[in-house]
Amino acid sequence: MKTIKKLLFMFAVLIIGLKPVFAACDYKEKADLNKEASYIKLNYQIINKICDETDNWCDYPPRLSWSIEVPTIDISILNVNSKFDFKVERFILTAGGIDEDATYSLDDAERYYYGSNAKDGIISFTELEAETLKQYKVEIRTSNETNCPGELIKVLYKNIPRFNDLSGSGLCVDYEHLPECEKFTFLSEIDYDDVERAIVKDTKVNKIPELVENKNLVIPLALIGGGVIIILIVALVLRSKKNEKTK
């Protein structure tokens, strides 16, 4: 009996003394993870969504009493799998760079995403506020499904354009190709003076080919006109000589 108790005691000590052993994060696994992470991309798509008084996400106070199309931006992390988790940060951009005072933070639900929750290899979220130019930063870290959990593998950056409320003004008619007149622009600040200057500059540049084209047209016409005059002069001279002989 004492022998059995002694054996049980030794077995209990052995169990308590055991420490979990995890596989090492070796060079090959790190290399494989880096290769897989190289295929992960950050992308965005501009989508107009219908906003009315029944939509809680519509943040245009007061609550609208009619339906209206509101530009939103869908942001996607592509080629995701369960070996990776993601930390998202969002920054407001100005002409001088990141505006630390204006930058607003995300809550945990918006900040952390897990590869195990990806649908068809995609994690997506919607940016409802389209009035400011932003930069998204996404840290790609290894998940607990690897032997290298929590390691920073790669950082992705993506600038997100803002809605340009001057794009619908009369000034921008026929000038939609200019950055100052695009519906979504990467310019942080635009006013009417900026639009006018851009139009004047664009008009001057586009007049140069027109002038060259006109000059190319004028030269052949001048040559043709000169040739006709020479022919007429020769004809008159010959006619004059003929008349003299007749006399």
pLDDT at 233: 65
Structure confidence at residue 232 as a pLDDT band (50, 70, 90): low
pLDDT at 40: 97
Count the neighbouring beta carbons within 10 Å of the beta carbon of residue 143. 19
Q: What angle (nearest 5°) sits at the alpha carbon of residue 95, between those of residues 93 and 182?
A: 80
**Could you give the CA distance from residue 13 to residue 162 in angstroms, rounded to a whole number?**
65
Question: Is the model's pLDDT at 76 over the cut of 70?
Answer: yes
Q: What is the CATH number of domain 24-163?
A: 2.60.40.10
User: For the chain, what's the residue count?
Assistant: 247
Contact predicate 178/202, CB 8 Å: yes
- The strands making up 41-51's β-sheet, listed across from edge to edge, are 41-51, 68-78, 123-127
Cα distance from N-terminal residue to C-terminal residue, the chain? 163
Q: Is the pTM of this model over 0.75?
A: no
Contact predicate 162/94, CB 8 Å: no
- Chain mean pLDDT for the chain: 76
Residues 27-63 pLDDT 10s: 999 999 999 999 999 999 988 776 655 555 555 444 4
Domain regions of the chain by residue span: 24-163, 164-247
Structure confidence at residue 211 as a pLDDT band (50, 70, 90): very low
Q: Exposed (0-12), middle (13-18) or buried (19+): which is 29, by Cβ within 10 Å? A: middle
